[in-house]
């Protein structure tokens, strides 16, 4: 593996089926300097973008909307799958915040966005 590939891998992290404590996803975003308004990616979920960081989720934990609303009822505080990528220090900070404010994380993949 080339050094470039290792550096690229270090800037990603994935979470599987994640729930947040009541309204705490907004706290995660605020601490990362990201506005708490998602952009809908259609069939691929939602994203939030800050300076040097991108967070993608399958469900919008703020509004509760699922990426395919006809397949699931809204569920606030449920992010479903989470993918993070960006500057290594920001990704590490986001991971720490998610660990702090999540009420449930099924699994995670450091170095990869395995789930979304």
Query: What pLDDT, on a 0 to 100 scale, did the predictor assign at position 8?
Result: 52
Any domain includes 25:
yes
Residue 67 is predicted with a pLDDT of 85
Domains in the chain, number: 1
Taking residue 92's Cβ as centre, other Cβ atoms within 10 Å add up to 15
pLDDT of residue 3: 44
> DSSP states of 24-47 as a string?
HHHHHHHHTT--S--EE-GGG-EE
pLDDT score at 68: 81
The pLDDT value given to residue 4: 53
Sign of the torsion formed by the C-alpha atoms of 43, 98, 19 and 65: negative
Residue 71: inside a domain: yes
Residue 11 lies in a domain: no
User: Per-residue pLDDT for the chain (116 aa), expressed as one digit of tens each?
Assistant: 454 554 554 599 999 999 999 999 999 999 999 999 999 887 789 999 999 999 999 999 999 998 888 888 899 999 999 999 999 999 999 999 999 999 999 999 999 998 98
Residues in contact with 31: Cβ distance below 8 Å, sequence separation at least 6, in sequence order:
93, 97
Does residue 45 lie within any of the structural domains?
Answer: yes
- Angle, alpha carbons 32-36-39 (nearest 5°): 110
Residue 9 lies in a domain: no
Task: Evaluate whether residue 12 is within a structural domain.
Answer: no
At 65, list the tokens.
């909307």
* Domain presence at residue 32: yes
Domain that holds residue 73: 19-107
């Amino acid at each position: 593996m080339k050094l470039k590939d290792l550096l690229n891998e270090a800037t990603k992290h994935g979470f599987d089926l994640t729930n947040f404590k009541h309204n705490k996803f907004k706290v995660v975003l605020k601490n990362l300097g990201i506005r708490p308004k998602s952009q809908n990616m259609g069939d691929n979920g939602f994203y939030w973008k800050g300076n040097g960081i991108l967070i993608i989720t399958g469900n919008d934990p703020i509004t509760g909307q699922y990426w395919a609303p006809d397949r699931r009822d809204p569920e606030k505080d449920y992010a479903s799958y989470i993918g993070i990528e960006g500057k290594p220090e920001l990704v590490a900070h986001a991971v720490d915040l998610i660990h702090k404010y999540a009420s449930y994380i099924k699994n995670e993949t450091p170095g990869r966005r395995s789930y979304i």
